[in-house]
Amino acid sequence: MTRKIILMMSVSIDGFIEGPNRELDWHMVDDELHSHFNEQLRAMGAFLDGRVMYELMASFWPTADADPSSTPPMVEFARIWREMPKIVYSRTLERADWNARVVRDVVVDEVLELKAQPGGDLVLGGADLAAAFMRLDLIDEYRLYVHPIVLGQGKPLFPASDARINLRLVETRTFGNGVVLLRYERSPSP
């Protein structure tokens, strides 16, 4: 059985993953949602991140468990993040720390080889990388965490594309803070 590539992304009701000035302050990640993320991510085999996502994560999570203001789910995630193998897709990053390696380009055959290896599923992070994986038809599952906010503008999760991807809803879950998980798997074309 091959591993799946799973896109997990927080998104506003109007489809944006960040505000017009790259702000993420609208994310409503409380302990319940963060514990859910930890449960999902703990089972993964690797994080596949773009450079921006990797640098954002590496700027905080390596030492977050030493910060006295971190909540228990944050402490747990810091450990998950440090220990998880990471593949960082970047043409400019020279090296990556914290159990990470840099790959220059998304090459379909290399991704398929990665999926064929044993281990947990692969979680995809970063909008530009997600767009590249979508263009190459490499995403098996979409886990969208819809936050109850309309941003009006910003970076859209799904850039304009000619691709049509058929999906099948396999799970919904409403969290106490109003965030809704919409989990879709690829569906065969009709």
pLDDT tens digit sequence for 84-99? 999 999 999 988 888 8
What residues does each domain of the chain span? Answer: 5-186
Summary mean pLDDT of the chain: 92
pLDDT number for residue 190? 58
pLDDT number for residue 158? 85
- CATH number, domain 5-186, options 3.40.430.10, 3.60.20.10, 3.10.580.10, 1.20.1050.10: 3.40.430.10
DSSP label at residue 35: H
Phi, psi of 121 (to 5 degrees): -60, 170
User: Checking phi first, is residue 152 left (phi over 0); if not, alpha (psi -120 to 50) or beta?
Assistant: left
Quick check: 19 pLDDT over 80?
A: yes
Quick check: 11 pLDDT over 70?
A: yes
Q: How confident is the model at residue 172 (pLDDT cuts 50, 70, 90)?
A: very high
Closest by CA to 17, choosing from 135, 124, 92, is: 124
DSSP letter string, 139-167? --EEEEEEES---SSSEESS---S----E
Closest by CA to 51, choosing from 86, 21, 93, 13, is: 93
pLDDT number for residue 159? 81
Per-residue 3-state assignment (H helix, E strand, C coil) for 77-95: HHHHHHHCCEEEECCCCCC
Helix (H) or strand (E) holding 58: helix 51-58
pLDDT tens digit sequence for 21-79? 989 899 999 999 999 999 999 999 999 999 988 998 899 898 899 999 999 999 999 99
Q: At what angle do helices 31-42 and 72-83 cross, to 10 degrees?
A: 20
pLDDT number for residue 161? 78
Task: Say if CB 27 and CB 61 are below 8 A apart.
Answer: no
Helix (H) or strand (E) holding 174: strand 167-174
What's the pTM value of the predicted model, to 2 decimals? 0.92
Quick check: 189 pLDDT over 70?
A: no
Beta strand pairing status for 100-103 and 155-156?
unpaired
CA dihedral 110, 117, 59, 16 (to 10 degrees): 70
